[in-house]
Every structure is written in structure tokens, then in C-alpha cells.
Structure 1
Amino acid sequence: MIKFDFKNRTAVVTGGARGIGRGVADRLLASGARVVIWDLLSPEPSQGLFASAPGDFAYVKVDVTSESAVAAAAEQALEVTSSVDILINAAGVTGPTKPMEEFTLQEWKRIIDINLDSIFLSSRAVIPAMKARNYGRIVSIASVAGKQGNPYMAAYSASKGAVLSLTKALALELAGTGVLVNCITPGLVQTDLLKEMSEEAIALSASKIPLNRLGKIEEVAAQILWIASEECSFVTGAAFDASGGRSSY
């Protein structure tokens, strides 16, 4: 396993209570980072930011679709740590699998809120502090569905396609500030999000993977760790593929 040095770095991971977000949080923690998880799920209660260990780990219950909640969480993190060096936007849902004409507006908006608006809110909240320190890494989890589209997953595909465009636009805005903005486009990965998909949708997506298997959380987390590291210093606005060969561009 490649060792990265994140000592004296503070990372915020949205949606870090489970799935890819949790995998990234665990790797960052093992690599020396202070890690703050923003999530509505808090399976491991924290007494406060970094109260249980001198500077390593905390859960904060945050609705990342709420402007006020995200702003308050960012202010809290900055008060305690003085910096947020890394933001991993991992909060996401797949939503229902069905024809678009059967989607309700409420279902559509929920997916867009969690998959896209949360990235806007979280990124906006930490960018000023990153710019002030001339350093930052923002990594968002998009999807191969954002490149190619998945049938019967119109809202999910649209939201992830928007993440790709947001990444590119924000990267250009922040070029020269020391803040690099990239995303990763996983294919089908073994996470709890599969429970939201129908068996037919899973089988269809799996059939398109040339490596003939689903991805693993630790594989995607390892790739994200490099993107979030100091060693990734000349790449911004990129979409890194993690689809097992389904998408080679």
C-alpha cells in the first residue's frame, strides 16, 4: 500500500459515514490527517471536534443540502483547526430506477440536492480559507453515468454530468490560487448505494465493465488519496476514471 503524508492537513469528507466516503476518511486518517466527517448518519458519536483524540477524527451531523448547516459546520471546523486543506465531496444517492416520466419532482430534486447542490455549498464554504492559505484540494465523486448516462437513472446521470462540468468550471476559476479541483468517475462499486438500484440496473451496468467485476471501495479510495495529496500538483479540472475500463476517456 502506498503511504501518503497528510500530517498537519485537515480534511472534510461529506457523506463519510459509509461507502466510498468512509473508505477515503479511513485512509486519510491512517495517513496522518485530521478528518471531519459531515453526514446525517453518525454511527460513531463524537463528543466534539477532535475531543476523543488530540486532533484526528470527528463526526459532525450535517445536512449537506442545507446552506445554513454547511456554513455553520465550516465555521466550526475553521475555528478548531484554522484550516480546511482538503474537501472530499462524497455525499450521494442513486435514487429510484425507473423511466423519467415516472419521476416525481420531489424525487428529482432530492437527487440533484444531494449529488450536486451539496458540492456547491460545501466547496463554497471552504474555498475562502483555502485561497487565503494558497493551498487546497477539492475532489468530488462523479460517476461514469455522468459521462455516458444510465437508462432509467436520468436524475442520477444528470446530477453526475453536472458534477463533471462544475469541476471543470471551478478548476479554471481557482487556477493560480493553489487550490486544485478534480473529480473521479467510478463505475459500479460495492457500496450500500447498490441497494437503491434494481437488480436489472445492476446487471446492465455490470455487463459493461471490461474487467468483469465490480469495483472495491478501497480501490477508489486509493485513487482519491493521490488526487487529494500534495503530489498531485499539476492536475486540475480533470475527471479520473475508475470504471474498470467501461469509460476510457
Structure 2
Amino acid sequence: MLNERLWIAIALATRSALGFCVSPPPRTAIRRLSVLDDIGNKLEEFAAPPGDEVLPKGPFGVVVTGGAAGVGYAYADEFLRRGHRVVICDVKDPAAAVEALRAKHGDFVFGETCDVSDAKSVRAFAAAAKEKLGTISYWINNAAINGGRRPFLEVPDDVIEAVVRVNLFGVLVCTKVAMEIMLDQTSTPGHIFNTVGSGVRGGGTPGYVTYGAAKRGLPQMTDSLNAELEGKTQGYTWPPPGKASVGVHTLSPGMVFTDLLLKDSTPELRKFPFGVLAASPEEVAADLVPKILAVEGTGTFVEYLSKERTLSKFYNRFIRRQKSQVIDDDGNVIRRDGVDYNADGVRMLY
């Protein structure tokens, strides 16, 4: 159910708008539009991230895996815009991404090649990130692959293995290495964010069986780690006394217009739900980064498609009749002049 305060706000906005129009304006349509806008604005207000005035003061050191493209690149961009220092990694050379970010924000971003499915590669990357940042306050496990959209029996064995190794093993080993670093940082708390996707709430993911299964394991992993961090491991004194505070959290960016979403998609999927609920990487990062910075303790679920934002998106599309700026009425990606896109219609960020 929706937040009670949200329903009250909607009711008040509706009553206020109708009351304002006791003397009918020349056109009834203007009155109706005013009511719709008041309600829509109230929904957007409730969906908004926390303001800068409540966020901790930095700068902080931030690690983003899978940061050379998509929402990972947008996270790095937003953290840098806010004055923080960032190290990104990617399985491909992230030099071009680093160059683009430095052109906007200066020399406060670094990049490393890292295969998160390989423990030795992760440890080498973590050591380099620690050296460059000094203190790592936020570690975002964003790197992921989905193996393409197709029936499970058509997925090659090596693709199944790769999807599980990146999306589950990779998050496990990255989290372990990040915790080791953060527990020894007595100067500041550390926070790790594990990115979930389709299947996280237990529903089926036809076409993405392996991806959904791997992502479904992350909430259990995070819940178990939180119990350990709270000292609930019977027979062990853990976490050890004198260590720094570490929080492990869940990060849900929802549907983002990236390769992960659009590759192998159909016009029907692109019209709904993508055309209604999906957002650009920049929109998602602008919403999630302040939420990430605002977390305390451990076990926070940070999401873009909250109940309030989901309702706002449905309201804007079906009540206000606002159309998607990315998907047209036929389910095609809208390509704008002067903008670069890849073969799947994904807009290039740099």
C-alpha cells in the first residue's frame, strides 16, 4: 500500500485545486489541467531524493564497478559533480570514460581494467583503488551482464557460467574485498551497495532465467551479511572489536535505458513497461546518488522505482498523457539529430 502521507497529500492537492476553481474559469479544460498538475507535482515531490542540506559533507572516495558505460558511468559523473573522488573499473579499458569524465570534472577520477568474475583481478583493482583514494567510503557493485534475451535451452553453457560468475560470484568477491578494506578504515564508515535487477522480488524472468536466478541470490547474501555485521553469528565474536563500521545495502536502479535493457527487446516491451517506467542513466544517478550518500547503518534498500515514483510515472503517462522522450508510440527508440546511438538504440554518454 502507498504511504498514508502520500494519499493525504494527493487528496489535499485535489481539494485545493478544485476549491480554487469555485468560480469556473473560461475553459473547464484549464481547471482540469490545473488539478492534474497539482496532483502530479505532489507525487513528484514525494518521490524526490533527499536534499543536499541533509547529506554528509565530503569529499568521499567512491568505487564503481562497471563504470565505463550506462548507469555506472552516470553514477561516477554524479559523484564527481558533487565534489567526490571516484575510481571506476570495467572489463574493457575504461580510458575513454575516464578522459570524458576528466574533461568535465578535473583529475579526480581514475580507471582500472578489472574482471569482477576473477578474484585476483578484483584484489588487484581494490589495491589500486585504495592507493588512489586513500579512504574508500562507498563501493558500488554495479557490473553485470544478462547473457541476452532468449529461451533457457538456447543459452550456451559458457554463457550461463559467465552470467553467474559476474552477477553473483563477482558481487560476492567484490563485497568481501571491500569489507576487508573498510573494516581497517577507522576514520570513516564504509558502505557497500549490491545492485539487484529482474527477479529480485521473486517473480519469474522469462528470457533471462540465469540472470534472474543470479540476481535473486543477492538479497539473501545481503541479509546474511547484515546479520553478521550485527553480531548474530552464533559461536563467533564478529565483527571483531575495534574495527570500523561497515554497512551492506541493496541498490535497485530499476529500468534504465542501457544495453542491458534494450538489447533483444521487442516493440511491445519497449512500449510497456520500458516506455512508462524506464529512465535515462543520468536521471537514475541524480536520484540514487544522494540516497546513497544519505544512508546510515546497514541493510538499507535504495531504489529508483519507489512506490511514489512508480505512481508518479503512471500518473504522468496515463493521466497527464505525457509521452516518453525515448520510445515512440510504435515501440521504436527515438533517435535525435546530433546524438550518437549504438546498434540497439542506446544513447552514447560520451
Using the size of structure 2 for normalisation, the TM-score is: 0.60
Query: Is 1:138 matched up with 2:192?
Result: yes
- The structure 2 residue matched to 1:240, chosen from 300, 303, 307, is 303
**d(CA) in 1 for partners of 2:271 and 2:229?**
36
2:254 and 2:303 in contact (8 A); partners too: no
Q: Give the number of the structure whose alpha-carbon radius of gyration is greater.
A: 2
**d(CA) in 1 for partners of 2:65 and 2:57?**
18
**d(CA) in 2 for partners of 1:233 and 1:165?**
20
SS of the counterpart of 1:44?
A: helix
Deviates more, 1:14-23 or 1:3-12: 3-12
Partner of residue 155, structure 1: 210
| Structure 1 residue ranges, 4+ long, deviating more than 6 angstroms after superposition | none
**d(CA) in 2 for partners of 1:175 and 1:44?**
41
1:169 and 1:237 in contact (8 A); partners too: no
Shift in CA distance, 162/223, structure 1 to aligned 2, threshold 3 Å: farther
**d(CA) in 2 for partners of 1:166 and 1:206?**
34
TM superposition shift of 1:161: 0.8
String of CA shifts for 1:146-204, please: whole Å, max 9, x gaps: 2223211101111111122222222222237521211123332111223433326xx34
**d(CA) in 2 for partners of 1:205 and 1:150?**
16
Deviates more, 1:142-151 or 1:231-240: 231-240
Letter in 1 for 2:59: N
SS of the counterpart of 1:32?
A: coil
Query: Is 1:96 matched up with 2:148?
Result: yes
Structure with the bigger percentage of helix: 2
Shift in CA distance, 46/204, structure 1 to aligned 2, threshold 3 Å: closer
Shift in CA distance, 26/99, structure 1 to aligned 2, threshold 3 Å: same
Partner of residue 346, structure 2: none
SS of the counterpart of 1:24?
A: helix
Shift in CA distance, 241/166, structure 1 to aligned 2, threshold 3 Å: farther
- The structure 1 residue matched to 2:163, chosen from 93, 104, 111, is 111
**d(CA) in 2 for partners of 1:81 and 1:217?**
25
Partner of residue 207, structure 1: 272
Letter in 2 for 1:121: V
1:6 and 1:32 in contact (8 A); partners too: no
Structure with the bigger percentage of strand: 1
Shift in CA distance, 239/224, structure 1 to aligned 2, threshold 3 Å: closer
Deviates more, 1:140-149 or 1:174-183: 174-183
TM superposition shift of 1:30: 1.1
Shift in CA distance, 217/31, structure 1 to aligned 2, threshold 3 Å: same
Shift in CA distance, 98/27, structure 1 to aligned 2, threshold 3 Å: same
TM superposition shift of 1:54: 8.1
Deviates more, 1:74-83 or 1:22-31: 74-83
2:146 and 2:163 in contact (8 A); partners too: yes
Deviates more, 1:220-229 or 1:162-171: 220-229
The number of residues matched between the two structures is 238
SS of the counterpart of 1:133?
A: coil
**Runs (5+) with no aligned partner, structure 1:** none
2:178 and 2:192 in contact (8 A); partners too: no
Partner of residue 86, structure 1: 138
SS of the counterpart of 1:13?
A: strand
Deviates more, 1:56-65 or 1:235-244: 235-244
Q: How much is the aligned-residue C-alpha RMSD, in angstroms?
A: 2.9
1:86 and 1:136 in contact (8 A); partners too: yes
Shift in CA distance, 85/206, structure 1 to aligned 2, threshold 3 Å: farther
Partner of residue 11, structure 1: 62
Query: Is 1:187 matched up with 2:238?
Result: no
**Runs (5+) with no aligned partner, structure 2:** 1-48, 232-243, 312-350
**d(CA) in 2 for partners of 1:75 and 1:26?**
22
TM superposition shift of 1:208: 4.4
**d(CA) in 2 for partners of 1:22 and 1:45?**
7
TM superposition shift of 1:44: 1.9
